[in-house]
Chains A and B, each alone.
Chain A
Amino acid sequence: MKLTPEEQDMLNGKHGKAAKKSMEILTTLGEIFDANCMVDVSSVQIAGVSYANLGEAGLDFLDEMAKDGKVKVLTTLNPAGMDRENWQTLGISEAFATNQIRVIDAFAKMGVITTCSCTPYFVGNVPHFGQHVAWAESSAVCYANSVIGARTNREGGPSALASALTGKTPKYGYHLDENRHGQVSIKVAAHVTGTDRFGVLGKIIGDKLIRLGKNTPFITGIPSATVEELKSFCASVATYGGTALFHMEGITPEFERYPKPSGGAFEINQEDLEKARFTLIDDELEIDFVSVGCPHASISEIRKIAGLLKRKKVTKEFWITTARPIKRVADEAGYSKIIEDAGAKFAADTCCVVAPIKGRFKSMIVDSAKACYYGRARNKLKVKIGTIEECVEEATK
C-alpha cells in the first residue's frame, strides 16, 4: 500500500500511540483487501457502544486509545445500552448505568460527539453524494451508500474508531466504482407502504441475496418511498442480507450510474409480501412491550405517534426510541408532552436491540423487521410486526 508522508508518520508513531495503533489497523485491513492507498474520510460513525456488548474488554481498549487519541474528523456514536437521563424509569440497573457512562466518557474524551444514535444522518452527520466516510452501524451504512450516495464499507467498532483518530480509511470495496454496480435485479410487483411493509420487503430481498450469494440489489417497481420507509428498508436488508448498498429505480441517486445487472429479475408479488410478513408474527403472543424507533424515530414519526396518542392512555410498556436532539425538537413542538401524558416513554440514546431487556418482557410489537430479528435472537422475545398505528392501538387497548 502506498502511504503519504503524513500517513507514514502516523504509522511510525509521530502522531502518538493511538494514531499509530489506528494506522496499523487500517494498513493491515488495506493489505488484506488489496487497497492501493488510503482515502480521506469526511465523517465517522462508531458502533460498539453498549456496555452489554463491549464488556470490560472493550472498555480497556477504549481507555487505552483515549490516553492520547483525538478524532480528526466529525465523529458520532451509535446507541448505548440506556437513556443517559431517563435510565431509572426504564428499569436499568445502577451497576449497568455506571459502566455504560464509563464507555460514553471514554469516547467523549477522544472528541467523539456522543449522539448515541443509529441515525447520524438525522443529527448533523450528513455526508453528501460521493463523499467518502467510514461508518459502522449496518443500517446507517446502507442508508449512506444507497439513499445518500456517499461511500463507505461496513466498518466494525475498532476500524471505525481507527478512521476517526486518523481521518483515513483504506480505499477498497464500496469506495470504488467497480464495486458499486447492481448485481441482481429485483422487481417489486406489490403495493408496499409503511415502515413495517418496507421492513418486510427488506427481509425478503435480504434472505434472497444470502441464498444467491450476491450483494447490491437493483430494485424496480417502487413508485415512491419516504425517508422513514427507506430507513426501515435499509435496516432490514442489512440485517437479513448483510447488504451495504442497493439501487432503487427512480428513488436512489446512483440507479442510472452503472449498467443494469444482466440476467432476469426476481419478482416479489403481494402474496410473497404477506407470507413474509407472517414469518414476523410469532404464535402464542402475550404482548407486554411496544417499541417504535428502530432505527431511531424521526421527528415526523414522533409527530405521528403524538397524533395517535392524543387524549389516550397506554396500558403496556411503550418505548419510543430516538436520538436525544430529535427528542429535544419533540419537546419544543409539544409532542413529548402528549406522548408522556399518555404514559408512553421516550428512550433516547438507546433502543430495544442494545438495551439489557432480556427476561423483562414476553412479547413485543414493533414496526421494524430488524427489531424482530434482534428481539428474537438477543432478547428471547416473541415478536409481532405491525404498522405504527397497530403498535399504538396495541399499546392503548
Chain B
Amino acid sequence: MKLKGRKIYKGVAEGEALVTREGISFYGGVDPDTGKVVEVGHELEGQSLAGKILAFPTGKGSTVGSYTLYRMKKNNLAPAAIVNEKIDTIIAVGCIISEIPCVDKIDVAELKTGQKMVVNGSEGTVEVK
C-alpha cells in the first residue's frame, strides 16, 4: 500500500511505525534525553520514539517543541520520520531544523503500530511494506 501525501521535509526513512490518534506536544510531553513520551495519560506514555516512523494527527503545545526534536536528533533518539494528518508549525520547523523526513495529509487511521514502512519526504509518500 502506498499513500500519497504532501512533502514537508525531504529525505527517505525506513522503519517500524508507532501510531497514535492523539496529538503530541514535544515541549514538556517528550523527554529529549530518553526519547520517551512523558505526558501523563498519553496513549504513548512511557514509549520510546527513537528510530520509529511516528504517525499522529497533529502537533500541539509550545513553539519550543521544535527545539526538543532537535535535541532528540542530537542524542540519536529522534523518530526516523514523522507522518501527520495536518502539519502545524512546531512539527514542521522541528523537522526542518533536525533534518527529519516529514510528510502530511496522510490519514493516520490507515496506519498501524508495528507495520514496516518507508517514508519518502521528498515525494510526500508513505509506503507500507
- A residues lining the B interface (CB < 8 Å): 21, 24-25, 28-29, 32, 47-48, 53-58, 60-61, 136, 156-159
Given known A-B contacts A48-B64, A53-B62, A53-B64, A25 and B93 have beta carbons under 8 A apart: yes
Q: Which residue of B lies closest to A21 (CB)?
A: B97
- Main SS of chain A's interface residues? helix
**Residue of A at shortest CB range from B104?**
A32
A92 to B97, CA, bound (A): 31
Chain A CB within 8 A of B70 CB: yes
Q: Report the separation of the CA atoms of residues A32 and B71 in the bound assembly, to the nearest whole angstrom.
A: 24
The distance in angstroms between the C-alpha atoms of A54 and B64, with both chains bound, is 6
Q: Which of A56, A136, A158 contacts B71 (CB 8 A)?
A: A56
Name B's interface SS: helix
Q: Assuming A32-B8, A55-B71, is B62 touching A158 (CB within 8 A)?
A: no
Which residues of the other chain, A, contact B66 by a CB distance below 8 angstroms?
156-158
Residue B56 at the chain A interface, CB threshold 8 Å? no
**Interfacial chain B residues near A25, Cβ < 8 Å:** 93, 96-97
The 5 closest A-B pairs by CB, nearest first: A57-B71, A156-B63, A58-B67, A57-B67, A158-B93
Count of A-B residue pairs with CB < 8 Å: 62
Determine whether the beta carbon of A29 is less than 8 Å from that of B64: no
**Using Cβ atoms and an 8 Å threshold, which residues of chain A touch B71?**
55-57, 60
Which B80-94 residues sit within 8 Å CB-CB of chain A? 87, 89-90, 92-93
Flag if B89 contacts A156 (CB, 8 Å): yes
CA distance A25 to B98 in the complex (A): 11
Do A61 and B32 touch (CB < 8 A)? Answer: no
Q: List 25 interface pairs A-B (beta carbons < 8 Å), by A numbering.
A: A24-B96, A28-B9, A28-B92, A28-B93, A28-B96, A29-B92, A32-B8, A47-B63, A48-B63, A48-B64, A48-B67, A54-B64, A54-B67, A55-B32, A56-B71, A57-B67, A57-B70, A58-B70, A61-B67, A156-B63, A156-B93, A157-B64, A158-B66, A158-B93, A159-B89
Query: Do residues A60 and B90 form an inter-chain contact, with CB atoms below 8 A?
Result: no
Interface size class of B (residues with CB under 8 A): 10 to 19
Instruction: Give Cα distance in the complex from A53 to B64, angstroms.
Output: 7
B68 CB-CB contact with A under 8 Å: yes
How long is the Cα–Cα vector from A156 to B68 in the complex, in angstroms?
Answer: 14
B21 contacts the other chain (Cβ, under 8 Å)?
A: no
- Distance in angstroms from A53 CB to nearest chain B CB is 5
Is B74's CB within 8 Å of the partner chain A?
Answer: yes
Most buried by B among A21, A47, A56: A56
In the complex formed, the residue of A with least CB distance to B94 is A158
Given A24-B96, A57-B32, A61-B70, CB of A29 within 8 Å of CB of B63: no
